[in-house]
Amino acid sequence: MKTEVVFFLCCVIFQAGISTISARAVTVTTISLVNAEAQCIKDLDLDEEHIDNLDDQVITPENDNQYNSYLECAWKKVKFQDANGRIDYDAVADHLLETVVEVLAVEEDVKLNIKLRTLKSITYCQQNPPGGVNHGQIIVKLINCIMNGL
């Protein structure tokens, strides 16, 4: 039961953009991602409340043009996705593992279990890459794939 609760928290933390993490857990990547997300909302003149509502969902809609544009912009700014739409799975995995492990103060065996399940999920999604009609939709489908694997 405890492991399932921890995984649920991991999903929420990852999907929410890690914008509410305590100061001790904020890393350079997280700061960059949060800054990139805020900058993209401004640059693309997006509805911030709409984006925040979608960020709060564990599984997000895959056909929301605003959200797809937002994620494409943010992920490209932090180099999780290149200009051709290719995902840097290592960078995504590093970010997710670093953030989740730092945020959650749990026993080492639970952390190890989280790391293994997270890597398994990312590996599955990398080996079965989600398609998409644009770079942003590919990101949303990838995030949903990772969440479903956790």
Helix intervals (H) in 44-134: 48-55, 65-77, 89-103, 108-127
Q: How many CA atoms lie within 13 A of 84 on its CB side?
A: 2
Residue ranges covered by each domain of the chain: 2-149
Residue 87: is its pLDDT beyond 80? yes
Selected residue with higher pLDDT from 62 and 24? 62
Question: What share of the chain has pLDDT > 90, as a percent?
Answer: 55
Residue 13: is its pLDDT beyond 60? no
Note the pLDDT tens digit of each residue in 63-84. Answer: 999 999 999 999 999 999 999 9
Can you tell me the distance from the alpha carbon of 107 to that of 113, in angstroms, rounded to the nearest whole number?
10
Query: What CATH architecture is 2-149?
Result: Orthogonal Bundle (1.10)
The model's pTM is 0.78
pLDDT at 30: 54
Can you tell me the distance from the alpha carbon of 17 to that of 77, in angstroms, rounded to the nearest whole number?
14
Q: What is the mean pLDDT of the chain?
A: 81
Can you tell me the distance from the alpha carbon of 79 to that of 122, in angstroms, rounded to the nearest whole number?
17
Span of 42-56, 93-107, 131-145 with lowest mean pLDDT = 93-107
Residue type, position 52, single letter: D
Can you tell me the distance from the alpha carbon of 143 to that of 130, in angstroms, rounded to the nearest whole number?
10
Note the pLDDT tens digit of each residue in 27-66. Answer: 445 558 889 999 999 999 999 999 999 988 889 999 999 9
pLDDT at 31: 57
pLDDT at 25: 37
- Mean pLDDT on 8-19: 46
Span of 35-44, 96-105, 134-143 with lowest mean pLDDT = 96-105
Can you tell me the distance from the alpha carbon of 40 to that of 46, in angstroms, rounded to the nearest whole number?
8
Can you tell me the distance from the alpha carbon of 29 to that of 65, in angstroms, rounded to the nearest whole number?
25
Residue 137: is its pLDDT beyond 80? yes
